Amino acid sequence: MLRILGRNNSSNVQKVLWTCDELGLSYERDDIGGPFGGNHEPQYLAMNPNGLVPTVIDDDIVLWESNVIVRHLVRKHAPNDLSPDDPVRLAVAEQWMDWQQTVVGPAIFPVFWGLVRTAPEDRDAEVISAGRDRLEKVLSILDARLSVTAFVGGEDFSMADIPLGIMVYRWFNLEIERRDLPDLARWYQLLTERPAFENNVMIGLT
Ligand SMILES: N[C@@H](CCC(=O)N[C@@H](CS)C(=O)NCC(=O)O)C(=O)O
């Protein structure tokens, strides 16, 4: 049985949970990280030396890095469907997944952390505001992409939609001003119609 270590309100854990449900995979999940702790115990660090979640145990392999876990699961269980076989389409999907990790994740972090994980009296309004501006700029790049393709990777839903879909749920649910990004909104609406997204991502921000 696939085992997922990580609390379900972590965006990086949600990528794995959403993927498993898209693929119809059964799994066991342990609450690790955040208030649950456990991620700095020697036993956990032996599996994931970063002390972060998620970590996945799949038969005889232990994997960390959420986007890599998503890629591993879709290639193992749904090749050519969620992970395109064609090398060009695959490169495009991976490009957007890496862009989520390197650009969108860092852009959303100060906004999410400031508004969700920081007590109102401790918030730095300037940092949150600058973060919001940066996030909007970054997501306008995704909006432009989605004005030419139905989904992030192309005309069909694929693994490329998963990491970014979770970021965009946060964009639409954080208490911030939002410029209208019409193609982003159209794509987000499509995601909300997927049970695997609804059940694992649309669970509020905590
Ligand atoms: N690049 C890693 C980042 C993992 C990460 O930053 N996880 C956060 C939660 S989203 C974490 O473990 N935070 C510490 C904690 O939950 O205790 C990945 O994508 O898996």
What is the domain count for the chain? Answer: 2
Average of per-residue pLDDT across 179-197? 98
- The reported pLDDT for the residue numbered 169 is 98
Spatial separation of the C-alpha atoms in residues 3 and 67, rounded to whole Å: 16
Q: Which atom of ligand 1 is nearest to the CA of 69?
A: 20
124 confidence band (pLDDT: 50, 70, 90): very high
Please give the model's pTM, rounded to 2 decimal places: 0.97
Asked if residue 200 belongs to a domain, the reply is: no
User: What integer pLDDT is reported at residue 80 of this predicted model?
Assistant: 82
**In terms of DSSP bridges, do strands 27-30 and 2-5 run parallel, antiparallel, or are they unpaired?**
parallel
Mean pLDDT, the chain, whole residue set:
97
The predicted-structure confidence for 125-154, as pLDDT tens digits, reads as follows: 999 999 999 999 999 999 999 999 999 999
For residue 67, report the distance from its CA to the centre of ligand 1, in Å.
Answer: 12
Find the domain containing 32 and state its range: 2-77
SS3 content of the chain, % helix, strand, coil (to 5): 60, 10, 35
Encode pLDDT of 69-87 as tens digits: 999 999 999 878 899 999 9
- Shared domain for 127 and 182, answered yes or no, is yes
Question: Is residue 202 in some structural domain?
Answer: no
101 in the same domain as 150: yes
| Section 94-113 average pLDDT | 98
Looking at the CA of residue 65, tell me the nearest atom of ligand 1: 20
Residue 119 in any domain: the answer is yes
| For ligand 1, atom 11: residue with the closest CA | 52
